[in-house]
Amino acid sequence: MSLSIGIVGLPNVGKSTLFNALTKAQNAESANYAFCTIEPNKAVVPVPDIRLDVLAGLVNPQRVVNSTVDFVDIAGLVAGASKGEGLGNKFLANIRETQAILHVVRCFDDDDVIHVANSVDPLRDIEVIETELILADVQVLENRIERMEKMLKGDKGLAPKIEVAKQLMAHLDQAHPAATFQSDSKALPDLLNELRLITAKNVIYCANVDEDGLTEDNDYIRAVRGLAEKRGAEFVRISARMEEELVGLEDEDYREFLESYGITESGLDQIIRTGFHTLGLISYFTAGEKEVRAWTIHDGDKAPRAAGVIHTDFERGFIRAEVIAYDNFVKHGSEAKCRGEGVLRVEGKEYVMKDGDVVHFLFNV
């Protein structure tokens, strides 16, 4: 399992610059004009986790494998995108495949950086994008309702799904995102799973700021943070330009550069940490001579499901899990010593995994 995040926003708000910085690969063209990105850019980015480095230092494996985040940079959307304006809706399908949306909004003034609307207004910009995403979802839902109604004569079981679909349509028609729709209908989860509506996804609002905005609020930043708080969404503040300058720096220079801006965490770390929290994800580790590896699971997953992330056979033939808490592994330095000190636990099928567990699964198929 990997976390997938789609980067959206108006043209020329810093999405591609941020993408370049986050992926540390200059494969997303960046320029000071609208629609610079004409194809969706995708990259798989390792999740920074100091715990992996610590475990690798103790185990000395042949390789270290991080968890990953898939970043998808979508071309800038404009008013009318759902009907084909600008680059149209050809990119909206890419957003549907992601788990979360990073909505990048410009929150700084600079006469040298063109804005598609010729002025900076984060709340207006957010409304433009969200309106287009809702309209795109309306089109998808309309098509699904029409197909289900044609199938109803041969499958009466579709009636509850059609009913809740129409209720959801009325909700979208009021300019409300699918994420805020509530219903007790048992048909709703299946419907949402089938449709993959864009506005049903978790949103992280990302204020793209200048150097001053990294440590001080301005009216733009306060407006975006206030909107996020009102909606119960996550908020991050980054400087895409600064993040791009971090690319390629050695660890010591990297830390010094962050400190020079008065911050301790890069935009990449912020976004990944926030993304994990938004989607309720955690990591566990396997540690052996061949590799030390991080695996991404949902918070609350039990041991068999966590084992299935490695291989479906592990879940199907699960016997037990040998578990060491990360802190105990670091304290004692090896699996053998943890076993000798009695801190290695044997857990069964009902064990709920904890973030940072170091695990060895036993299975039989």
Going by the annotation, the residues of the binding site are 12-17
3 state SS of 163: helix
Three-point CA angle 247, 215, 19, nearest 5°: 30
Annotated binding residues for ATP: 12-17
**AA letter at 205:** Y
**Strand 234-238's sheet: what is its strand order?**
41-46, 68-73, 3-8, 100-106, 202-208, 234-238
- 181 vs 195: CA distance, rounded Å: 14
- 58 vs 333: CA distance, rounded Å: 6
- 271 vs 294: CA distance, rounded Å: 18
**AA letter at 140:** V
CB contact set of 94 (below 8 Å; sequence gap of 6+) = 6, 40, 72, 74
H/E element, 42? strand 41-46
3 state SS of 36: coil
3 state SS of 79: coil
- 332 vs 337: CA distance, rounded Å: 6
- Using CB atoms within 10 A of its CB, is residue 216 exposed (0-12), middle (13-18) or buried (19+)? exposed
User: 347 forms bridges with which residues in the sheet?
Assistant: 321
Rg of the chain taking only CA atoms, in angstroms: 23
- Maximum distance among all Cα pairs of the chain, rounded to whole angstroms: 68
- 2 vs 298: CA distance, rounded Å: 11
